[in-house]
Amino acid sequence: MSLGLGYWNLVQESVTQNKAVGFEEVGAVNQCCDGIQFCLEPALASGAMWSADEIAELCYLHYRTRLPKQGKPDPDREWTSLAAVVKVESSTQREVLASPGNLQVTKEVVAMGTGTKCIGQNKMRKTGDILNDSHAEIVAKRSFQRYLLHQMWLAASHQQCSIFIPGTETGKWKLKPNTIFVFFSSHTPCGDASIIPISEPENQLSKPVTGDDAAGQSERRSNHDHLGPEDKRKSEKTASNHIIKRMKTDDDGYFSVIPEDLTVQQVSVKREDDTNPKSCECSADMQTANKETGLGRPKVVDVYRTGAKCVPGELGDARIPGLGYHCVGLLRVKPGRGDRTCSMSCSDKLARWNVLGCQGALLMHFLQYPVYLSAIVVGKCPYSQEAMRRAIVERCQHISFLPDGFVPQEVKLLQSDLRFEHSRQAIQEVQTNSKTKLVPCSAAISWSAVPEQPLDVTSDGFRQGTTKKRIGSHQSRSKICKVELFHTFQKLVTSISQEDLPDTLRLQYG
């Protein structure tokens, strides 16, 4: 790498100062082009050549201009979440050598998804023709897989516009070294990453509830609504033992006063059915923060709630009002209205992608290395860098004995100051004086940078407008459901001759 940089500086100096470069130097530069490109990759991934606001602005513009009105929320009464994958590409080696002082970086949205819903376990189908999980992050990731399958077809067809180049093994490909992918989400992923401390300065008695805090309170209410009768009684009984006063401020905001003894009690309190002594390690970081609180440092008084439920049979939340409500670091499933879901939280899925990549098992047949996300950008909303890192990076960073090429990633985590126009917080601010109840939009939009039918609008896991009689038909399927992605993969395999296929996909005779 140092050799590549050395000759790169030589070429740059020669071009800018009109100096001649000998054949030996040019040959050395050609040999070290990989080193030059390798030096650009960390800069691309670190965000040195782009900003979180640029990524957010690009995604919001794409949402406004490239997605139709169909599937978007009615801003008078609905809200939704947005997620996308952005391709960030630096100049190619040839372009860098031709114009060393003019390094270009291009950004393009290649996949996008909206949605907030998830079907219950009783609606799941073995045929794979329904979308189980329509949260925006998952819709965007599946749309991204569709994009990757198309790019692999371009590569196998020997078209230069593909993001893939030949690998070292027959039938295997790898991502171009000047290309990375950035994941954008308008809101903190549900699950562990959404368990965010709420702080107040120690020298103040209270903190008025802001729009974002109101969103957190809304999550708490919905979380309570999802509890069963027995759990509700336990929750209410616990709450009665720890009185939390809500006091009104001059500007009609509210703040909570948390009893001081609650932080002491939360360590020893466990759920009745929980026998694991580590069940409430969740609050250790927050307790430490409170113990170390000094003059001017914020004091943690509560946490934002997540509606995602702990995986059945595993450790559970203590549900103590205040700091001890949640246990952090646990696997969770998305909440469902009545019928429990089997879909893992978005935090858990992002953590998995950070180890296994976003390409999926089918496309991995063609890849020498997984396709990882280099960065995750979150829009303006309640956010904690520590919670994001804990949920997406730290929980899986010690995993070992993985197949060749698979490595837990140190994905870059960033937040933008730009808010999504159809987020719950944005709609709440606009509809402050309205008596209309805000509800999540029932539709989900999928968009992929592919030439054929890039757009898909679904509801309840099927294409919007599907009647009960049409369920199971080809017309009812989303382009990103399991069976449709599998059919796309099959077409890719059949378009390639046997001798050009990877070993794992060749027909074995004898």
- Residue 322 is predicted with a pLDDT of 85
- Residue 91 is predicted with a pLDDT of 73
Q: What pLDDT, in 10s, does the model give residues 492-507?
A: 999 999 999 999 998 7
On the question of pLDDT at 341 being above 80, the answer is: yes
Return the H-helix or E-strand segment holding 197.
strand 197-201
On the question of pLDDT at 401 being above 50, the answer is: yes
Say which residue, 349 or 250, is predicted with more confidence.
Answer: 349
Q: How confident is the model at residue 187 (pLDDT cuts 50, 70, 90)?
A: very high
- Residue 28 is predicted with a pLDDT of 42
Mean pLDDT across 333-353: 91
Mean pLDDT of the chain: 78
- Residue 286 is predicted with a pLDDT of 55
Alpha helices in 47-89 (DSSP H): 52-66
Mean pLDDT across 183-207: 78
What is the per-residue burial (b if ≥16 Cβ within 10 Å, else e) of 452-481? eebbbbbbbbbbbebeeeeeeeeebbbbbb
- Residue 23 is predicted with a pLDDT of 36
What is the per-residue burial (b if ≥16 Cβ within 10 Å, else e) of 327-359? bbebbbbbbbeeeebebbbbbbbbbebbbbbbb
- Residue 19 is predicted with a pLDDT of 37
Tokens of 182: 């950035």
Tokens of 327: 């246990």
134 contacts 336 by C-beta, under 8 angstroms: no
The Cβ-side half-sphere exposure at 483, using a 13 Å CA radius, reads 17
- Residue 99 is predicted with a pLDDT of 61
Least confident of 29-43, 145-159, 324-338: 29-43
Q: How confident is the model at residue 160 (pLDDT cuts 50, 70, 90)?
A: confident
124 contacts 130 by C-beta, under 8 angstroms: yes
> Does the model's pTM come out above 0.75?
yes
What percent of the chain lies above the pLDDT cut of 90?
55
- Residue 118 is predicted with a pLDDT of 94
Q: How confident is the model at residue 205 (pLDDT cuts 50, 70, 90)?
A: very low
Q: How confident is the model at residue 56 (pLDDT cuts 50, 70, 90)?
A: very high
The Cβ-side half-sphere exposure at 426, using a 13 Å CA radius, reads 20
Biggest CA-to-CA distance, the chain: 84
The radius of gyration computed from the CA coordinates of the chain, to the nearest angstrom, equals 25
Question: Does 292 participate in catalysis according to the annotation?
Answer: no
On the question of pLDDT at 287 being above 60, the answer is: no
Mean pLDDT across 50-58: 97
Say which residue, 189 or 287, is predicted with more confidence.
Answer: 189
On the question of pLDDT at 249 being above 60, the answer is: no
Q: How confident is the model at residue 176 (pLDDT cuts 50, 70, 90)?
A: very high
On the question of pLDDT at 483 being above 90, the answer is: yes
Tokens 């378009």 sit on residue: 495
Out of 54, 137, 200, 219, pick the active-site residue: 137
| Backbone phi, psi, residue 375, to 5° | -155, 155
- Residue 265 is predicted with a pLDDT of 28
Say which residue, 41 or 131, is predicted with more confidence.
Answer: 131
Say which residue, 318 or 352, is predicted with more confidence.
Answer: 352
Tokens of 260: 């001081």
- Residue 492 is predicted with a pLDDT of 96
CA 381, 359, 482, 151 dihedral sign is: positive
On the question of pLDDT at 216 being above 90, the answer is: no
Across-strand partners of 381? none
On the question of pLDDT at 182 being above 60, the answer is: yes
Q: What pLDDT, in 10s, does the model give residues 257-281?
A: 333 332 322 333 333 344 343 444 5
Q: How confident is the model at residue 509 (pLDDT cuts 50, 70, 90)?
A: low
Tokens of 307: 């509606």
Q: What pLDDT, in 10s, does the model give residues 90-147?
A: 976 555 555 666 678 999 999 999 999 999 999 999 999 999 999 999 999 999 999 9
Q: Is 168 in a helix, a strand, or coil?
A: coil
Cα–Cα nearest to 180, from 112, 111, 93, 88: 88
Question: Would you list the DSSP string of 326-383?
Answer: --SS--EE---SSS---PBPHHHHHHHHHHH-SSHHHHHTTBSS----SEEEE-SSS-
